[in-house]
Each structure stands twice: as C-alpha cells, then as structure tokens.
Amino acid sequence: MEIIDNNASQLLTITEQKPEKLKDKSSQKKKSHKAKQKKHKSQDKLENNGSKTLLTETEDKAKKEGLKKLKTEFYEKEIEKLQIELLKQQDWIKEKGLRVVIIFEGRDAAGKGGIIKRITEFLNPRGCRIVALGTPSDREKTQWYFQRYVAHLPAAGEIVIFDRSWYNRAGVERVMNFCTDEEYQEFLHSCPEFERMLVRAGIILIKYWFSVSDEEQERRFQDRANNPAKHWKLSPMDIKSRDLWVEYSQAKDQMFAHTNIPEAPWFTIDADDKKRARLNCISHILSKIPYEDLTPPPLELPPRRTGDNYIRPPRNEQFFVPQLY
C-alpha cells in the first residue's frame, strides 16, 4: 500500500553537445539548485503554533525513501475496508472455533495502542479481548512467570490481543533490573518452549514488534509532554527509557535471537509513519488467518408494534441530565 514515487531522472548525453549549450545548461542547473535550496530552507523555518514543525521527521524520512505522505481521505477509506474484512475474519474465527493470540511489543510511543484501537474498533467485544496487565502483585511474583498470562488465553472462537505480554521480562524488566540474571536466562530458555506448546495446542500465535526511530520517538514524547490529553501516556518509565535507547536495543536483539522461532516468528512493523503502520499491520493479520465471507444477507425488520395501552409517566417525576449542549 505504499505509494512510491518512481519518477526516473532523465539521462543526458553530453558528449555530443556543443560547449555553449553545456555552459547554458550548467548555469540553469545551478540556478535551479539554488532555488530548491532556498525553498527547502523556507519550508524548514515554518512552524505550526510553535509546537510541531510543518515538515516533521516522519515526513522527511518518507520523502528521503521516495514515499509520499498518505492523504487522509485515502487512509480513511483503506482503514475502513480493512476493518470490514476484520469483521469477516472474526465471524470465520467464531464459526470454526479458532483460538487466536496477537502480541504487540515495541518501543515506547511506537504506536501499539493506536493499532490495537483500530483493530478492535468494530469487532464484537464478546469475541475479542484486549489484555494489558499492570505490575504483578506480590502473590503473582511468587507464581510461575507465565501463569498470570495463561489465565487470559482464548477459548474457541476468541481473539486475545496482548498490549505487551510475557516479553516484559526480556525488555523492561531486563533493562531496569526488575528481574535477576537467573530469571532472565530462564525466560530466554523457557519462552520458546512455552510458545511451541501453545502452537501445538492449536493456538494461532502472531507476534508483532513495532519499530520506531529514536528521532520519531522523541518527537512523540515531546507531543505527549505538551498535550494535556496525552499526559497519561508518558509514564516515569517512558522518561527513563529516553536515556536507555542502546540498552533497549541490545535487549531486543537478544530477545529476537532466542524467541524468533519458526513456530512463532516475529514480524517487524516500521512504525515511524503511523498510518502506513496501521494499514500494513491489519493487512498482514488478514493474510495470516485465511477466512471466508460468512456475512448473512441484510435483515428485513418487521413493523414495530404500537403501545396503544402504555401511558408514559410524567416527565417531572424523572431526573434528566441538563442539556448543556
């Protein structure tokens, strides 16, 4: 779904041209180059309310890679199509009694919450659950590490989405020293076997890692810090992680080295561009679980019965919410 600008630059054969023409064309190129530089400098100076530059790091990266920024109208149409397909897929999962686990891991502010919101927006909540566990209790700390996650695994016809998962041990717990070296090494040894056991039991396990550059992560952190509606997204742990980029990278590399198994491989999403990341991720989910369209024909509603004998209580006997809007 990426829109790629493949306009090839024209090749000029200069060996057969006259010196005068070469000089004129060289002069024109210099003028054109200076005009472009001036235009780019003026664009870089433009600001939107002093908080967001007109040319963000994400847009700049997309341009360098030859990608055009997705138009909002195109994105909204595409996401709506994909969400309808997710509904069809959910119907198929329920009909066939499949059990699906989707894990979302990645950097802080990588966009995991955004993609989960778009996936579940129109799905039947009775068949799709989001699991986002907090800090383990004192009792849970004494349990087998995977125990509190096992309790949330799906039954037949269900989808369970983990917004962070048992991989906390390989990431934040490792970097922040919330677990011992022995516990960490045991996790790296046990996790592949645990996941193989889930797959052998018939659970469809899909794991996503949302990758974001340090520049884009910092931009999103600044946005959260300056936006009152997003303050809750910026935790003390997020602030600490800003100075531990390399440590988190090393932890992720070790995690991939031990848990990227054939039965449950990691799929990496380039998440610097949120819109593209969402479209690509949902498309991939649809491709991983083949399904058929079980949508029933449109319902024809019969005429409603009239309540001729019903007398409504007086309005002054009820408490109504004030109509402020």
Helix (H) or strand (E) holding 28: helix 19-45
Q: Is the dihedral of CA 50, 51, 55, 61 positive or negative?
A: positive
Q: Is 23 helix (H, G, I), strand (E, B) or coil?
A: helix
Q: CB burial class (10 A; 0-12, 13-18, 19+) of residue 174? A: buried
Q: Which residues pair with 207 in a beta bridge?
A: 103, 266
Please tell me which residue, 43 or 143, carries the higher pLDDT value. 143
Q: Answer whether residue 269 shows pLDDT above 90.
A: yes
Q: Is 37 helix (H, G, I), strand (E, B) or coil?
A: helix
In this prediction, residues 249-276 reach a mean pLDDT of 97
Predicted TM-score (pTM) of this structure: 0.77
Give helix 214-226 / helix 57-64 axis angle, nearest 10°. 150
At a CB cut-off of 8 Å and minimum separation 6, what does 291 contact? 88, 89, 91, 92, 93
pLDDT, mean over the chain: 85
d(CA 269, CA 208) in angstroms, rounded, equals: 7
Going from N- to C-terminal start, the domains of the chain cover: 72-120+150-288
d(CA 133, CA 164) in angstroms, rounded, equals: 8
141-170 tens-digit pLDDT: 999 999 999 999 999 999 999 999 999 999
Domain 72-120+150-288: what homologous superfamily? P-loop containing nucleotide triphosphate hydrolases (3.40.50.300)
Find, among 199, 125, 131, 130, the residue nearest to 166 by Cα: 131
